Amino acid sequence: MEKVLDIQNLHATFTIQKKDYEVLHDISFSINRNETVCVVGESGCGKSVTTLCIMQLLPNNGKIQSGKIVLDGTDLTQVNRKEIRKYRGKKMGMIFQEPMTALNPLLTIGYQMRESIMLHRGLKKKEANELAISYLQKVGIANPESRLKQYPFQLSGGLRQRILIAMVLSVQPDLLIADEPTTALDVTIQKQVLTLLNDLKKDMNAGILFITHDLGVVAEIADRVVVLYAGRKVEEGTTEQIFKNPKHPYTIGLMNAVPNVDLDEFEIRPIPGTFPNITEDIPGCRFNPRCPRAHECPLCVKEAPETVEVEPGHLVACHLAK
Ligand SMILES: Nc1ncnc2c1ncn2[C@@H]1O[C@H](COP(=O)(O)OP(=O)(O)OP(=O)(O)O)[C@@H](O)[C@H]1O
Ligand SMILES: [Mg+2]
């Protein structure tokens, strides 16, 4: 299997009042072609920061301290700010929660799509227009010619998101990064967008990095899952391994928090305890203050756990997993 993205031992910090705090600690995972990897975890665990590291779009007080982010053989951490623009859009496309942040309100959809296709695929205006139409059709948009003449504000949120997906895909990136792309959409449109991404993954032979905190969405779209807790990878495995055989107490807690529809249970149970912020120093495993099993092993409060492979492809960073 060919790796599209390979993140190796990534460490990143934010500087807050002249002090550096680690926001990502030793994060490693990879994405193959024709594979969707979901990164999950509570708010603040570092999902968006991970995508910003990949895109080299960290805010000014953020810094990658060490590690590699290899996209199609190139380590992006070694590419300078100017050069990185060539990778963004062309090799990696990004879809955000709010499509308006990526669309220019003053320009028609057609203008924006053509410009992007002309720039990244080196086509003339007429060919670019035809390609734009075909991609709008791919994402299920009726009357694409008339949509091209419209401005973003004339379209609903769901349509804008689909147009943005069409725009990102028309460039044929090797990697598609989607950070909560369906959160702002209503449930029916959300389903459509997920189905669309699933179909297109196969068509394009691309890798997809999908960020969400909705485990229902994960079950639907992911081939593999990476679970983050407070900037650490605590577990990684196939979707089946993570859902059917979670090993880390945090992952087990996340799974228990999902309402059991079969039992007519809709209330989501939060995991007890509070999530640490990046300035908090927690000795041992970062999860130990909330872990129901931390009392079983003295190491939990003393040493950070190493990552072990509990079955092929299933990695867990927990002292109790050994
Ligand atoms: N510019 C910044 N300066 C300092 N800390 C920051 C900055 N941006 C983000 N953080 C912190 O980094 C941590 C990770 O943030 P991140 O946005 O990646 O979380 P997330 O997992 O995407 O959460 P959510 O589910 O809410 O989107 C959080 O603790 C956040 O407060
Ligand atoms: Mg986020």
pLDDT digits (tens, 9 = 90+) for 133-160: 999 998 889 999 999 999 999 998 888 9
pLDDT score for 190: 80
Q: Which of 116, 143, 172 marks a domain boundary?
A: 172
How many Å apart are CA 229 and CA 253, to the nearest integer?
Answer: 12
Confidence category of residue 260, pLDDT binned at 50, 70, 90: low
Note whether residue 157 is domain-resident.
yes
Spacing, Cα 184 to ligand 1 middle (Å): 19
301 contact partners, CB below 8 Å, separation of at least 6:
283, 284, 285, 288, 294
Domain check: are 203 and 302 in the same one?
A: yes
Q: How far is the CA of 293 from the centre of ligand 1 (A)?
A: 27
Helix axes 187-204, 157-170, angle to 10 degrees: 10
- Residue 251 is assigned to a structural domain of this protein: yes
Question: What is the CATH classification number for the domain harbouring 177?
Answer: 3.40.50.300
What per-residue confidence (pLDDT) applies to 48? 94
Residues 6+ apart with CB under 8 A from 295: none
Same domain, 317 and 222: yes
**Domain-ending residue, one of 123, 144, 172:** 172
- Same domain, residue pair 122 and 61: no
Write the pLDDT tens digit of every residue in 53-92: 999 999 999 999 999 999 999 999 999 888 898 888 889 9
Query: Closest Cα to atom 3, ligand 1: which residue?
Result: 14
Find out whether the beta carbon of 278 lies less than 6 Å from any atom of ligand 1.
yes
Residue 46 Cβ contacting ligand 1 at under 6 Å: yes
Residues 267 and 165 in one domain: no
User: Can you spell out the DSSP letters for 161-183?
Assistant: HHHHHHHHHHT--SEEEEESTTT
Q: In 3D, which of 33, 176, 216 has the Cα closest to residue 96?
A: 176
Q: From CA 199, how far away is CA 44, in angstroms rounded?
A: 30
More confident residue, 261 or 191: 191
Task: Determine the structural domain holding residue 143 and report its residue range.
Answer: 103-172
- Ligand 1 contact, 58 CB (< 6 A): no
pLDDT at 271 over 60: yes
Residue 97 lies in a domain: no
Give me ligand 1 centre to Cα 132, in Å.
35
Do 208 and 314 lie in one domain? The reply is yes
Number of domains in the chain: 2
User: Which atom from ligand 1 is nearest to the alpha carbon of 50?
Assistant: 18
CA distances from 119 to 148, 173, 215, 275, 282 (A): 18, 13, 37, 43, 48
Last residue of a domain, one of 113, 138, 172: 172
Does residue 211 share a domain with residue 157? no
From CA 202, how far away is CA 200, in angstroms rounded? 5
pLDDT at residue 187, as a whole number: 80
165 & 247 share domain: no
The greatest distance separating any two alpha carbons of the chain, rounded to the nearest whole angstrom, comes to: 68
- Is any atom of ligand 1 closer than 6 Å to the C-beta of 158? no
What average pLDDT does range 200-216 have in this prediction? 87
Which atom of ligand 1 lies at the shortest distance from residue 228's CA?
21
**What confidence score (pLDDT) does residue 161 get?**
86
Closest ligand 1 atom to Cα of 42 = 25
